[in-house]
Amino acid sequence: MARFSTLLALCMAAAAASASPVVVRDSPISLPLARRFKSTGVGAILAADRARAEVLKNVGLAKGGNASKRANLVVSNANTYYAAEVGIGSPATTYTLLVDTGSANTFVGAGKAYVQTSTSQDTGNTVSVSYGSGSFSGEQYTDSVTLGDITITNQGISDATQSSGFSGIDGILGVGPADLTQGTVSDGNVVPTVTDNAYSQGLIGAEVLGISFLPASSGSDVSGTLDFGGADSSKYSGDLNYVSITGTSPASNYVGIDQSITYGQDTEILSTTAGIVDTGTTLLLLATDAFDAYQQATGGEMDSTTGLLKISSSQYDNLQSLFFTIGSQTYEFTANAQIWPRSLNSVLGGDSNSIYLVASDLGSNSGQGLDFINGYSWIERFYVAYDVTNSQVGFATTDSTESREVLLGELRASLRALSLWGYTEETRIYHPAALETFLPHIASSLENLQLDDFVVDPEEFQAWGVSPAPAYTKTQYPMVRSLSMHLYGAPLLEHLQHLFPALDGTLSFIEFQRSNDDIMGNPADIRSANERAQEASSSRPWKELDCILCEPQTLYLLGLRCPVKQVVLRAMDVPLEPYAVDALRENPVPRLKLVLRHQSSFVSLCTPELATTLTHLTLVLVYPFQTL
Q: Say if residue 258 is in the same domain as residue 327.
A: yes
Instruction: Please tell me whether residues 241 and 354 are part of one structural domain.
Output: yes
The answer to whether the beta carbons of residues 417 and 319 sit under 8 Å apart is no
* 207 and 327 part of one domain: no
Q: Which of 561, 545, 540 is nearest to 505 (CA)?
A: 545
Cβ-based neighbours of 1, under 8 Å, separated by 6 or more: 23, 24, 25, 149, 150, 203
d(CA 1, CA 44): 44
3-state SS record for 212-253: EECCCCCCCCCCEEEEECCCCHHHCEEEEEEEECCCCCCHHH
The strand pair at 150-164 and 237-244 is best described as unpaired
Cβ atoms within 10 A of the Cβ of 273, count?
Answer: 21
Residue 1 included in any domain: no
Identify whether 6 is part of a domain: no
User: Is residue 550 in a domain?
Assistant: yes
What is the bridge-based pairing of β-strands 135-147 and 80-88?
A: antiparallel
State which amino acid sits at residue 26.
D
Out of 278, 387, 452, 457, pick the active-site residue: 278
Q: Which residues of 459-482 are buried (b: 16+ CB within 10 A; e: fewer)?
A: bbbebbeeeebbebbebbbebbbb
CA angle 524/528/533 to nearest 5° reads 150
Range of the structural domain that residue 292 is part of: 229-401
The DSSP call for residue 64 is: G
Looking at the structure, tell me whether residues 382 and 472 fall in a common domain: no
Is there a single domain that holds both residue 182 and residue 243? no
- 122 noted as active-site residue: no
Separation of alpha carbons 101 and 363, rounded Å: 21
- Please pick, among 49, 100, 196, 258, the residue that the annotation labels catalytic: 100
DSSP-based three-state secondary structure for 496: helix
CA distances, 449 to each of 444, 445, 454, 477, 503 (Å): 13, 11, 12, 10, 11
Tell me if residue 324 falls in helix, strand or coil: strand
423 and 536 in a single domain? The answer is yes
513 domain-assigned = yes
Reply yes or no: is the peptide bond before residue 250 cis, omega within 30 of 0: yes
Instruction: Out of 357, 379, 401, pick the residue that ends a domain.
Output: 401
Express each pLDDT in 261-273 by its tens digit: 999 989 999 999 9
CB atoms within 10 A of CB 58: 16
Share of the chain above pLDDT 90, in %: 50
| Residue 8 covered by a domain | no
Query: How many Å separate Cα 79 from the centre of its chain?
Result: 18
Residues 208 and 266 in one domain: no
Quick one: 73 and 143 in the same domain? yes
For residues 57 and 34, is the Cβ–Cβ distance under 8 A? no
Query: Considering the domain boundaries, does residue 191 fall inside one?
Result: yes
C-alpha atoms less than 13 angstroms from C-alpha of 172 in its C-beta half-sphere? 31
The whole-number mean pLDDT for each consecutive block of 10 residues of the chain, a chain of 628 residues, reads 33 34 61 68 72 77 42 38 91 94 94 97 93 80 95 97 88 94 94 97 95 66 81 90 97 97 96 95 95 98 94 90 96 91 80 90 96 95 96 92 63 78 50 68 85 80 59 76 89 90 92 59 87 76 92 92 94 81 92 81 80 90 64
Say if 98 falls within a structural domain.
Answer: yes
How far is residue 366's CA from residue 270's CA, in Å, rounded to a whole number? 8
**Total tally of structural domains belonging to the chain:** 3
Query: Do residues 374 and 485 share a domain?
Result: no
Q: Is residue 115, in this structure, part of any structural domain at all?
A: yes
Q: What would you report as the CA-atom Rg of the chain, rounded to the nearest whole angstrom?
A: 28
Q: What's the pTM?
A: 0.67
Same domain, 456 and 603: yes
State which H helix or E strand residue 514 sits in.
none
Domain boundary among 375, 401, 427: 401
Contact in structure between 569 and 576 (CB atoms under 8 Å): yes
Contact 193, 104 (CB under 8 A): yes
Q: What is the chain's percent helix, strand, coil content, to nearest 5?
A: 25, 35, 45
SS (H, E, C) 94-162: EEEEEEECCCCCCEECCCCCCCCCCCCEEEEEEEEEECCCCEEEEEEEEEEEEECCEEEEEEEEEEEEE
SS3 of residue 483 by DSSP: strand
Q: Residue 614: how many CB atoms within 10 A of its CB?
A: 17
Do 378 and 517 reside in the same domain of the chain? no
**Is residue 539 helix, strand or coil?**
coil
Same domain, 271 and 184: no
Last residue of a domain, one of 213, 237, 270: 213
Does 278 qualify as catalytic in the annotation? yes
Indicate which CATH number applies to the domain containing 64.
2.40.70.10
CA distance 360 to 365: 13
